[in-house]
Structure 1
Amino acid sequence: MSDRNKGILLLLVSALGFSLMGAFVKLSGDLPTSQKAFFRNIVAAIITLGFVLYHKERVFGKKENQKLLLARSALGTVGIVLNFYAIDRLVLSDAEMLNKLSPFILIIFSAIFLNEVARRFQVMAVIVAFIGALFIIQPEFSVDIYPYIIGVLGAVFAAGAYTFLRVLGNKEKYYTVVFYFSFFATVVLLPFTIVFYEPMSVQQWIYLILAGACATAGQFGITLAYKFAPANEISIFFYSTVVYSALLSIVLFGQIPTLISVIGYIIIFGSSFYMFLKNNQTDMKQAK
């Protein structure tokens, strides 16, 4: 199997992991969002700590990277809480697609904060993607759109976290970054979990443990995928998570996305596919 195909396979597995995480979070029922996020992260922290210790790396990374790790973790924690809030209150595939706006928002943040020049086709892709988001949100300026706004904000904070990941680059091992983030989120969410704690059944415990395990698999999958192939060659396949989530929504929750939402999915996916093709064309020209 070529490295590119390995990357694609890992990305498909990663997308499935994140989709299952969302499904298990939703299946865990009427629990505080902070409690769900806490258990998702403590499971991930335990799993990734094993990787850090096995490879004999520094548990909390290098001293010179602490500000970057803290910023990435803080933004990522807020992003997860907002995403879980949206998952609980929206059709699963709607919440997932809104969260997938983060790559487009990352282009904006990279231009503003990292002085990376946004090409014209990237700007067009961002505009089209946000039009697609409006189809999903279907704004009526009522309280009903609140969860959709929260979902978009989750993508904004996720993009902020990814911006700091770009700055971190290869300065830290991927499992160290994931552990640091998961541990940080666990510590931050612990007081909220204690104050608002709701007793859980055995089934709810199992669902949240599985959510944490699937999220960890998803995180490792996407990180390893980009080691085998450049993001602009394979990132389009990560949108398979919306297909998985739509199927899980129908099978597990009997939730069928509206036709207008599906049009929004197609617009955002099309925008991403366009950017995928243009990036490949640019790389081929540069290679010549």
Structure 2
Amino acid sequence: MVNKDNTTGKAIFFIILSSFWFSVMQVCVKFSGKNIPLMEQIFFRNLITFFITFFVIFKRKESFFGKRENRKYLFLRAFFGYTGVCCFFYATNHMTLSDASILQKSSPIYITIFSAILARKALDRNKTLCVIIAFIGAMFVVRPKFDSQTFPSLIAMLSAILTAISHMALSYANKFEKPYTIVFFFSLFSTICSFPFVVMNFVMPNIYEILLLIGIGVFAGLGQTCLTMGYRYSPASKVSIYTYTSVIFAAILSIIFFNQNIGLYSFIGIVLVFTSSYYDYRLVQKHE
């Protein structure tokens, strides 16, 4: 029986919307990446989100750092989230892009495993099957070459694990703190950590690149907020599979901005991601 307020439906909506905004952000990253260093992109990605959330929290007279007893969860979300991004960017720079992408997208698998371990329960077979099918679908779209070196590949896998832990910490922090407080804390932490790298390797952007950097920050902020809202309505273990919709959005945006056609394998992958996500949604509805 479905809950009247349909919290799972709201969670799925926000996770999918988050995937869309992050995909748009990646378009800005790709356009600006021709001249702007990756750490500088990460810095502006979080700096702009920091100012936006600061203004919202100040206007609403909410807490910037949350309650003292909850800051450990905010820190865990920020620490693992930031280190996960850094590992992914390192992997992106030192291995085939498709290999890095598919390894990083294995994070929902780790979320499913870690959640079962923490809850001391056996893995849900249907949930596990849906996540694996979605992962296979992502492989069809990304089509990794698996020709990269071992160490960068391990770093990409570490990124997926760190992202999984970050999303679980986010899901837990949502029980105690408001979304904008969580996003603000993460943005502040990431901005401070990125600043030394920017100072060491700063590239002055032109007007066009400034607009792209602003776009990275705005769309990342929207993505972070929607992701936080999604995990507020439902645990990461239930809805993390819907982050695979980013593969679909990325394929569509590649057609629009980069004239890249969707081939047969990509189409099969999109169908697999959509089908597994829809089946998972029906399973969740059945058990609510």
Provide TM-score, normalisation by structure 2. 0.79
- What is residue 254 of structure 1 aligned with on the other side? 259
Judged with a 3 Å threshold, the aligned counterparts in structure 2 of structure 1 residues 82 and 248 are, in CA distance, closer, same or farther, namely farther
Query: How far apart are 1:107 and its partner, in Å?
Result: 1.1
CA distance in structure 2 between the aligned counterparts of 1:80 and 1:123, rounded to whole angstroms:
25
Alignment partner of 1:26 out of 11, 30, 48 = 30
Q: After superposition, what is the alpha-carbon deviation per residue over 1:208-253, rounded to whole angstroms, capped at 9, x for unaligned?
A: 1111111112222344456678989987776554333222212212
Query: How far apart are 1:270 and its partner, in Å?
Result: 3.0
Moved more, 127-136 or 201-210: 127-136
- What is residue 286 of structure 1 aligned with on the other side? none
- What is residue 165 of structure 1 aligned with on the other side? 170
Unmatched 5+ stretches in structure 2: 1-5
Contact 1:7 1:228 in 2 (8 A): yes
Contact 2:77 2:169 in 1 (8 A): yes
Alignment partner of 2:86 out of 81, 90, 97 = 81
Judged with a 3 Å threshold, the aligned counterparts in structure 2 of structure 1 residues 99 and 257 are, in CA distance, closer, same or farther, namely farther
Aligned residues: 283
CA distance in structure 2 between the aligned counterparts of 1:69 and 1:3, rounded to whole angstroms:
23
* Identical-pair percentage: 36
Contact 2:95 2:149 in 1 (8 A): no
Judged with a 3 Å threshold, the aligned counterparts in structure 2 of structure 1 residues 151 and 21 are, in CA distance, closer, same or farther, namely farther
Amino acid paired to 1:29:
G
Contact 1:4 1:228 in 2 (8 A): yes
Amino acid paired to 1:211:
I
CA distance in structure 1 between the aligned counterparts of 2:42 and 2:181, rounded to whole angstroms:
20
- Partner SS for 1:256: coil
Amino acid paired to 2:49:
A
- What is residue 197 of structure 1 aligned with on the other side? 202
Query: How far apart are 1:256 and its partner, in Å?
Result: 3.5
Query: How far apart are 1:169 and its partner, in Å?
Result: 3.3
Provide TM-score, normalisation by structure 1. 0.79
Amino acid paired to 1:22:
Q
Query: How far apart are 1:136 and its partner, in Å?
Result: 4.8
Moved more, 17-26 or 123-132: 123-132
- Partner SS for 1:143: coil
Judged with a 3 Å threshold, the aligned counterparts in structure 2 of structure 1 residues 93 and 176 are, in CA distance, closer, same or farther, namely farther
- What is residue 190 of structure 2 aligned with on the other side? 185
1:118-267 matched pairs, under 5 angstroms: 118-136=123-141, 138=143, 140-143=145-148, 153-224=158-229, 239-267=244-272
CA distance in structure 1 between the aligned counterparts of 2:26 and 2:117, rounded to whole angstroms:
31
Amino acid paired to 1:26:
K
Contact 1:29 1:204 in 2 (8 A): no
Query: How far apart are 1:105 and its partner, in Å?
Result: 2.5
Judged with a 3 Å threshold, the aligned counterparts in structure 2 of structure 1 residues 208 and 149 are, in CA distance, closer, same or farther, namely farther
CA distance in structure 2 between the aligned counterparts of 1:149 and 1:262, rounded to whole angstroms:
29
Amino acid paired to 2:32:
S
Query: How far apart are 1:144 and its partner, in Å?
Result: 8.3
Moved more, 233-242 or 202-211: 233-242
- What is residue 274 of structure 1 aligned with on the other side? 279
Query: How far apart are 1:37 and its partner, in Å?
Result: 0.8
Q: After superposition, what is the alpha-carbon deviation per residue over 1:45-103, rounded to whole angstroms, capped at 9, x for unaligned?
A: 11111122222233222211222211111111123334556778999999877655433
Alignment partner of 2:18 out of 1, 14, 37 = 14
Judged with a 3 Å threshold, the aligned counterparts in structure 2 of structure 1 residues 225 and 129 are, in CA distance, closer, same or farther, namely closer
Query: How far apart are 1:140 and its partner, in Å?
Result: 4.7
For the pair 1:111 / 2:120, whether they are aligned, the reply is no
Moved more, 219-228 or 202-211: 219-228
Moved more, 218-227 or 171-180: 218-227
Contact 2:104 2:157 in 1 (8 A): yes
